[in-house]
Structure 1
Amino acid sequence: MRTAVVIGTGLIGTSVALVLAGRGVTVHLRDHDPDRARTAAALGAGTDEVPGETVDLAVVAVPPAHVAATLAEAMRGGTARGYLDVASVKGGPRRELEALGLDLTSYLGTHPMSGKERSGPLAATADLFEGRPWVLTPGPDTDTEVLNLALELVSMCRGVPVVMDADAHDRAVALISHTPQLISSMVAARLENADETAVRLCGQGIRDVTRIAASDPGMWVDILTANPGPVADVLAGVAADLDETVGALRALQSADEDKRLGGAGAVEAVLRRGNAGRARVPGKHGAAPAAYETVAVLVSDRPGELARIFADAGRAGINVEDVRIEHATAQQSGLVQLIVEPQAAPVLASALREQGWSIRT
């Protein structure tokens, strides 16, 4: 691949362009907002000049509702030898393209499973896709050359290619991405008019659950509009669980001991089902989830504290598998939770105590 056009210079499009430009590909940037294309170009993602000839690959990075029209325009104009899109919904855009009567041998729908709460070219980074699944949904008529171009792009971005059927992809992302976004937003919405005293008690649990609620609503309306059926199906199941759990909690208020016992059992059942589902989420490097232990360290909010902790852990010969930070309310301190293998936890705790760190259990 020597030349490319990236159409849509938001977070994903600009991140793709940064990778390609960094690998020596001549990248031409297009956007319905010329200022965004110029911003991406200023970041080193390519040039906003129109290509003088057909390029090797066109990457369409626009919202799902606009994918088909954007691709159709590019195809009819002979923009590239191969075309792919990076939208988060795959079945609908392909059916729209088929309805337009276009030759889809040069097209491949893809979806890099990566993103941020922030959007726009200024949020883009060349490492956005590293180690992340990148779904490819070739059709029966997809040309091998286009598939190879897509695989080359994924390799440049250091993503992990995953081949799926387009509709199976849409059902999957409804479960693991689109529904969680809505539920996160619904939980966060409970905080909007909550008493200030309650909000000041927020800890890491509510921060974890509501993190993605900070995402751009306009972007998510576009995504959900393109995949409403599968998302509604998942939410219907969640709604059934909610109704059952509400009933169980009401039963716990009953004066009837049998009702209270039944309510407790139902609450425990949904919590245990949650345990079982959470255990299926892939762990480090995509392997089966491992059992880890946490060493919590009290740190002050001063420059260099995290670096010192990791340096001390390294000197103790401990590999930190993951890290979380829980900030203390109204204090210049917080807890750094170091996630390690069980046998390493006591060794790490002892080593850090020797270095003067305050360990919390």
Structure 2
Amino acid sequence: MAFDFIAEHLVEREADALLRKRQLVEQSSGRFIQVAGKQYLNFASNDYLGFADDFIEIQVQHLGSHSSALVNGYNKPQQQLEQRLCELLGYESAMLFNSGFSANSSVLKALFQDKSVAQSSAIFQDKLNHASLIDGGLHSAAAMVRFNHNDLRHLESRLQKSKAKHKLIVSEGVFSMDGDQAPIEALCKLAKQYNAWLMIDDAHGFGVLGEQGLGSCESIKPDLLIITFGKALASSGACLLASKQMIDYMLQFNREYIYSTAMSPLMASCTLERLERLLNADKRRAQLSENIAYFRALAKEHNLALMESTTAIQPLVLGDAEHTLAVANKLKDKGVWLTAIRPPTVPFNTARLRVTLSSAHQADDIKKLVDSLVECL
């Protein structure tokens, strides 16, 4: 029968405890989530600063931008957001995307769209980079070279052996599934040493790290910086920051940007408002740091083997996918909402509970989480 593989693959996924399902969320914030009429403590949100509950009053005439940015969809709120980000992060130019996935994948594809150039080009990617970066690299015309996670020696050996004229090193600022940080300063030095460019996806660092909350790259400027608005800003969309020449190039060749309806004026205005609040969110960032330290201290007391992360992402690797899913379901019975992260999102035999902390969490919430983990494990 035609397309019988669909049913077969679904059966296989379910048998391996890897079948994904959507949950209809009725309400959600940095601290709580409500599903099917029941409220849970939310330890699965990327709302690191608890902005989701903050009220925003915005006066915008149009909800939608109505067309591509290159037709007539580029409007004043978009321009203001781009200019403010350039001012804060020290870049010449910027362009907005409707999602971080679109930004990451499309930038890599567009940069190496010329096959004659791509023949002498290579993308060097950390093995734990986000799927959007991997997909962008695979679908570009350049060679893609992987290096071991945060392994500078391995990366340097790859750079030394490469005969490519155009080299691009790509990494995340904070890795979404492990919670550890890239050695960005060292990556910058390697890039300069080997005449390469550096691209950083700082989805999980922006808003949280740095003295002003401007992320992993607050004091170090990679050639290409991607930030997203759906995490610490509790908004939606993403932005590429680079030189004016680079943005002009993207305007010619980035198909996702050229052929997508532009970000809405409403979303751009809301994001700009959140951005200004983020700059004054030192107390929230301090509270988040306290919550992270408290969680790790309690976990250590109870011998919970957390990964080495000092960020809001605190993974607990259990290994087996079926076991991890079972523990996540037991936690729900106790009123704690945690996501079981399973392959192929993470490597096989590294299924995990991905704990994400927010400044909105209280000490009692974190204690309940740890007590529940101990009981369920």
The TM-score with structure 1 as length reference comes to: 0.33
Task: Name the structure where helix makes up a greater proportion of residues.
Answer: 1
Which structure has the larger Rg over C-alpha atoms? Answer: 1
The TM-score with structure 2 as length reference comes to: 0.32
